[in-house]
């Protein structure tokens, strides 16, 4: 594609990279990424994808900005408390890169809308904060043949993984969700705001790598981050031969098992 003079200046540091160049930047401008949740992980992820020039970013979130979000959800501001987070994301991105199109989905992700949403994008990035949504996103992406870049953060710890066929899926890592009384979220256990920034930024790196087809994919591995000890550990994540979704005897063929609505 032919870049405008403004685009050449904006993306100059990308174009200088041999792994990106003009061809890669054009690919980013044409890309469509769906972000699940505009919270602690989605905030840095969306900001960096927009700054990088990812042309269309879909954001699904049915929550409104609250004061307690601002400790880590840097996408939002005090002035936008009470605003839907997807709409707040659109305002924030417009201030950084008005060329990027934000498609706000002011809804809860459910089995009824997940497949249609996922189908409209090249890649999905999950920044949700509960197991119900994570399983739903994983299943929808695998069934639709879409790459999923998933991050999680709690307290001072985080995890990052990329799931794409024919490699392992999220169910290979977590065959079943833990009991509700054991699955604490940030509201119950707390989270260091900067850790959300670390994991969301790493997630943006992996999304861009997958869109451009550069570097070593994180698929088949799990990155574990310990903020208190400043340790990063990458471990192999093998496929689970008994996986209900991607194993040879898979039983999950559609989203019918996800009947209860899940929060994004």
Residue 245 domain-assigned? no
Residue 37 domain-assigned? yes
Residue 4 domain-assigned? no
Q: What is the domain-level CATH number for residue 118?
A: 3.40.50.720
Residue 252 domain-assigned? no
Please give the Cα distance from 11 to 21 (Å, whole number): 9
Quick: pLDDT tens for 82-101: 999 999 999 999 999 999 99
Nearest to 148 by CA among 131, 168, 125: 125
Residue 36 domain-assigned? yes
Per DSSP, the residues of 202-234 read HHHHHHHHHHHT-S---TTEEEEEETTTTEEEE
Per DSSP, the residues of 80-127 read GTTSBHHHHHHHHHHHH-TTSEEEEE-S---TTTHHHHHHTSSEEEE-
- Residue 159: domain span: 17-236
Does 166 sit behind a cis peptide bond, omega within 30 degrees of 0 on the bond before it?
yes
Longest dimension (CA), the chain: 55
Quick: pLDDT tens for 23-55: 999 999 999 999 999 999 999 999 999 999 999
Please give the Cα distance from 26 to 146 (Å, whole number): 21
Along the 264 residues of the chain, how does pLDDT read in single tens digits?
Answer: 789 999 999 999 999 999 999 999 999 999 999 999 999 999 999 999 999 999 999 999 999 999 999 999 999 999 999 999 999 999 999 999 999 999 999 999 999 999 999 999 999 999 998 999 999 999 999 999 999 999 999 999 999 999 999 999 999 999 988 776 556 677 778 899 999 999 999 999 999 999 999 999 999 999 999 999 999 999 999 999 999 999 999 999 999 989 754 445
Q: If residue 154 lies in a helix (H) or strand (E), which one and from where to where?
A: strand 147-154
For 73, residues 6+ apart whose C-beta sits below 8 A from its C-beta are 38, 39, 40, 42, 43, 65, 85, 196
Residue 200 domain-assigned? yes
Number of structural domains found in the chain: 1
Q: If residue 162 lies in a helix (H) or strand (E), which one and from where to where?
A: strand 157-163
Indicate the pTM of the whole model.
0.94
Residue 79 domain-assigned? yes
Residue 113 domain-assigned? yes
By residue count, the chain amounts to 264
Three-class SS state of 246: coil
């Amino acid at each position: 594609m032919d870049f405008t003079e403004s685009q050449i200046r904006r993306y100059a540091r990308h174009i200088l990279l041999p792994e990106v160049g003009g061809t890669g930047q054009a690919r980013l401008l044409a890309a469509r990424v769906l972000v699940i949740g505009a919270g602690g992980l989605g905030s840095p992820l969306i900001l960096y994808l927009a700054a990088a020039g990812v042309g269309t970013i879909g954001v699904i979130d049915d929550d409104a900005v609250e004061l307690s979000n601002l400790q880590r959800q840097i996408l939002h501001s005090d002035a936008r408390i009470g605003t839907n987070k997807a709409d707040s994301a659109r305002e924030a991105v417009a201030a950084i890169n008005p060329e990027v199109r934000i498609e706000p989905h002011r809804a809860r992700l459910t089995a009824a809308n997940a497949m249609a949403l996922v189908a409209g994008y090249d890649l999905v990035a999950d920044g949700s904060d509960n197991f119900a949504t994570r399983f739903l996103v994983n299943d929808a992406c695998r069934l639709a043949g879409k790459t999923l870049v998933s991050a999680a953060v709690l307290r001072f710890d985080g995890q990052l993984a990329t799931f794409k066929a024919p490699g392992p899926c999220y169910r290979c890592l977590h065959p079943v969700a833990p009991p509700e009384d054991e699955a604490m979220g940030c509201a119950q256990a707390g989270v260091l705001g900067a850790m959300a920034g670390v994991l969301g930024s790493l997630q943006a790196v992996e999304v861009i790598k997958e869109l451009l087809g550069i570097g070593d994919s994180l698929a088949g591995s799990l990155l574990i981050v310990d903020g208190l000890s400043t340790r990063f550990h990458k471990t192999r994540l093998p496929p689970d031969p008994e996986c209900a979704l991607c194993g040879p005897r898979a039983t999950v063929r559609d989203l019918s098992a996800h009947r209860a609505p899940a929060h994004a």
